[in-house]
Structure 1
Amino acid sequence: MLALVVTLALLLPGLAGADDASALYEQNCVSCHGSEVFTRPDRRVQSLGGLASQVRMCEQNLGLQWFDEDVQAVVGLLNREYYHFDQPAAD
């Protein structure tokens, strides 16, 4: 189910734009860690679905109450900037 949500969210234009994703990331994520968690050789996240799960877990642990679109915007930002996982192909 998560894979379907991730796929659909990445295929549809996000309601939260790149500027919004950057703002969400800067306001909430960098207070706990910098970009080193994304670039270290032994990073935890190994797939696009794993990235979405990790962002959601962080969002919930911090009690941010983001919309799904916000989570997907941050996932998209992190994937573009650091992870470069292949995007699901459109049917």
Structure 2
Amino acid sequence: ESFVPHGPAESEPEGQVVLGLAESCGDHQDLLINLDLKVPAFAKAFARVAEVVVEDPAIRQAARESFRFYREQGYPLQDHRLQRL
């Protein structure tokens, strides 16, 4: 419910929230919050990856495929189930 300052990955200094809309992650490599239905090619450059999964069947199927990819790549996997309000 509040604004988070952000900008494009290509122009933001390190330590900022950046939006990556290109095929590269730039110099940012700590946490990727992937909002796409597929794993981006540059995901392996990040120390951590988070994906938001909702109950939509298409999104859940894409998340299952992403989960398999991350498991095959050796990422330590952990899920967090949030309660509906």
Choose 1 or 2 for highest CA Rg: 2
Q: Could you tell me the TM-score, scaled by structure 1's length?
A: 0.30
Q: Could you tell me the TM-score, scaled by structure 2's length?
A: 0.31
Q: Which has the higher helix share?
A: 1
Larger RCO (CA within 8 A; separation ≥ 6)? 1
Q: Which has the higher strand share?
A: 2
